[in-house]
Amino acid sequence: MNLHLYNSLTRRLESFQPISPDHVGYYSCGPTVYNYAHIGNFRAYTFEDILHRTLAYAGYTVIQVMNLTDVDDKTIRGSRQSGIPLKQYTAPYIQAFFDDAKALNITPAQIYPAATDHIPEMIALVQKLFDKGLAYKSPDGSVYFSVGKHPTYGKLAHLDRDNLRVGVRMNQDEYDKESFGDFALWKGWDQNDGDVAWDAPWGKGRPGWHIECSAMSMKYLGETFDLHTGGIDNLFPHHENEIAQAEGATGKPFVKTWLHCAHLRVNGEKMSKSLGNFFTLRDLLAKGYTGREIRLVLISAHYRQPLNFTFDALAAAKTSLERLDDCLDRLETLAAGTTPAEPLPGAKLVNQFDTAIADDLNTPEALAAFWKLVREANTEATPTNAAGYLQQFHRLDRILGIVDFGRRPKETIPPEIQTLAQARQKARAEKNWAESDRIRDLLAQKGWQVRDSKDGQTLKPIHA
């Protein structure tokens, strides 16, 4: 597979060539565990999953690291307000994150390092920056990175330092630093931090947000690694600062390829609590939508395009997945007892699928090929090739994750329903349409839909 990925650093589509021929080092910015992640967060994690799966599909051994930010302003605030120790406060949100990821069929990363378990590594990295003259201590006990001493600062965000200006959300007065572009590597303890503090050579405090990702990614993936992903809003300052910290300390290139996922919108608007369009995954599950439907919606747009999340789209996903399940049931019935025979059917569409995915993870195009395969299977499947079609669907599913996952379960038909169905068969054979229709209505009332075909009738449970 000739995989091409859009690199935010060069702003170009590039052929992906890993540093090591057979494995890929891949870091993704994970959740800040102060609350439940929302559906927009999960768009990014789902995109990262597609990348993970694509790399595996292409034959690489993937080492994905996703951090858990379990110490920052928000986690500390939450912990203090609820009077629960920090670790205890974040634990349920970490668990919720894993549960939610599972509900979306997201392939687990290989390593999930928590920031609070890697304080020594962060201190060591800050020390290195001190040694190189890139860090300085301020009177308030914090340590800052001196952006002015790092000439390549701004290469990811393409920021011109002369044009940096104080943003509306930046309150200069809260910071005691030499130049306004400088950012905190270490935050000196203050009373709002309560008992959240670690000792460092330069004083008591806690790590800055950016240093955790630099320290943990390099610990597990080395000083230079292949891929780093996150939401587009992390591009600046977070990722820019990660680069400055890592490259400032090691003098080596940090990451070869950066990928950023665009935002999710809700009904064309930015998701926000004040607009009432703010959804967590569990909100949607509670409304009866399934992880499988949500996953399909999330992958139905290209990751670099904003995605407009609507309930209409969710309903469309539900209907199309029913069509998929019908197709799979049909294939399994046809294929019963057989094994796939070469050459496999649908090769042309599988090829289209591969080409689309290899082109910067074009999931919408890949899905188009997938649905064409559904149509082809519905039209062309026979007892001899049905097993082959099933194998092709499972192949594509290694990336999509929507075929087996959350599939309509095969329900055993209760004896009472069996009996009614047989009675209906008999009535039909006698052309007693009134009776057969009466039984059909009765079955529908009991939650079973009847479909007639040449081979007889099939029963399908009706789910509201």
Quote the least distance from Cβ 185 to RNA, whole Å: 9
What is the rounded distance in angstroms from the CA atom of residue 82 to the CA atom of residue 93? 14
Please say which residue, 60 or 202, places its beta carbon nearer to RNA. 202
User: Which tokens is 463 given?
Assistant: 């789910």
| CA nearest neighbour of 245 among 134, 133, 115, 118 | 134
Write each residue from 312 to 331 as x if it is in contact with RNA (CB under 7 A), else as -, in one continuous string. xx-xxx-xx--x--xx----
Provide the Cα torsion 293, 295, 298, 303; round to 10°: -150
301, 307 in Cβ contact below 8 A? Answer: yes
Please say which residue, 61 or 437, places its beta carbon nearer to RNA. 437
What is the rounded distance in angstroms from the CA atom of residue 68 to the CA atom of residue 86? 13
Q: What are the helix and strand counts (H, E) for the chain? A: 14, 15
Please say which residue, 18 or 208, places its beta carbon nearer to RNA. 208
Work out which of 139, 168, 201, 409 binds RNA, going by CB under 7 A: 168
Residues 268-307 that bind RNA (CB under 7 A): 268-271, 297, 300-302, 305-307
Write each residue from 366 to 405 as x if it is in contact with RNA (CB under 7 A), else as -, in one continuous string. -xx--xx-xx--xx--------------------------
E-only strand ranges, 195-315: 205-207, 225-231, 255-261, 264-266, 269-270, 307-309
CB atoms within 10 A of CB 409: 8
Write each residue from 185 to 224 as x if it is in contact with RNA (CB under 7 A), else as -, in one continuous string. --x--------------------xxx--------------
Write each residue from 409 to 428 as x if it is in contact with RNA (CB under 7 A), else as -, in one continuous string. -------------------x
What is the rounded distance in angstroms from the CA atom of residue 39 to the CA atom of residue 65? 21
Please say which residue, 160 or 342, places its beta carbon nearer to RNA. 160
Residues 45-84 that bind RNA (CB under 7 A): 72-74
Work out which of 164, 197, 344, 413 binds RNA, going by CB under 7 A: 164
Quote the least distance from Cβ 4 to RNA, whole Å: 12
Please say which residue, 105 or 234, places its beta carbon nearer to RNA. 234
End-to-end CA distance of the chain: 42
302, 60 in Cβ contact below 8 A? Answer: no
Amino acid 184 reads: A
Asked if 332 interacts with RNA (CB under 7 A), we say no
Asked if 182 interacts with RNA (CB under 7 A), we say yes
372, 324 in Cβ contact below 8 A? Answer: no
Please say which residue, 157 or 413, places its beta carbon nearer to RNA. 157
Please say which residue, 92 or 364, places its beta carbon nearer to RNA. 364
Residues 230-269 that bind RNA (CB under 7 A): 230-238, 261-265, 268-269
Quote the least distance from Cβ 413 to RNA, whole Å: 16
Quote the least distance from Cβ 242 to RNA, whole Å: 12
List of residues 6+ apart from 4 with CB closer than 8 A: 13, 14, 15, 16, 358, 359, 360
The span of 82-90, 127-135, 399-407, 435-443 binding RNA (CB under 7 A) equals 435-443
